[in-house]
Amino acid sequence: MTSPSTVTSFILVAYTEMEKLKYLYFTVFLLLYLLILCLNLLVIGVIYSQKSLHYPMYIFVCNLAVNGIYGSTSLIPYLLYQLMSPSHEISLGLCLAQIYCLHTYGFIEFCILAVMSYDRYIAICRPLHYHMFVSTQNVIGLIVLSWTYPLTAFGLCIILTTKLTFCSRFIPKVYCANFMLVRLSCFDTTVHNAVGLVTVSFFVLFPISMILFSYIQIVRICILASKESRFKALTTCAPHLLAFVNFLVGSIFEIIQSRFEMNYLPYEFRMFISLYFLIFSPLLNPVIYGLSVHNIRVQFLKQVIKAMKCRKTST
What is the reported pTM?
A: 0.89
Q: What span, in angstroms and rounded, lies between the C-alpha atoms of 113 and 71?
A: 15
What are 216-231's pLDDT values in tens digits?
999 888 887 777 777 8
What are 94-141's pLDDT values in tens digits?
999 999 999 999 999 999 999 999 999 998 888 888 888 888 889 999
Q: Are 168 and 269 in contact (CB under 8 A)?
A: no
Residue 185 phi/psi, 5-degree rounding, is -65, 150
Between the two ends of the chain, the Cα-to-Cα distance in Å is 67
Q: What span, in angstroms and rounded, lies between the C-alpha atoms of 214 and 238?
A: 14
According to CATH, the topology of domain 11-314 is: Rhopdopsin 7-helix transmembrane proteins (1.20.1070)
What are 39-62's pLDDT values in tens digits?
999 899 888 888 888 889 889 999
Every domain of the chain and the residues it spans: 11-314
Helices and strands in the chain, H and E counts: 11, 3
Mean pLDDT of 11-29: 91
Q: How does residue 244 score in pLDDT terms, banded at 50, 70 and 90?
A: very high
What are 25-38's pLDDT values in tens digits?
999 999 999 999 99
Q: What span, in angstroms and rounded, lies between the C-alpha atoms of 130 and 113?
A: 18
Residue 91 phi/psi, 5-degree rounding, is -70, 160
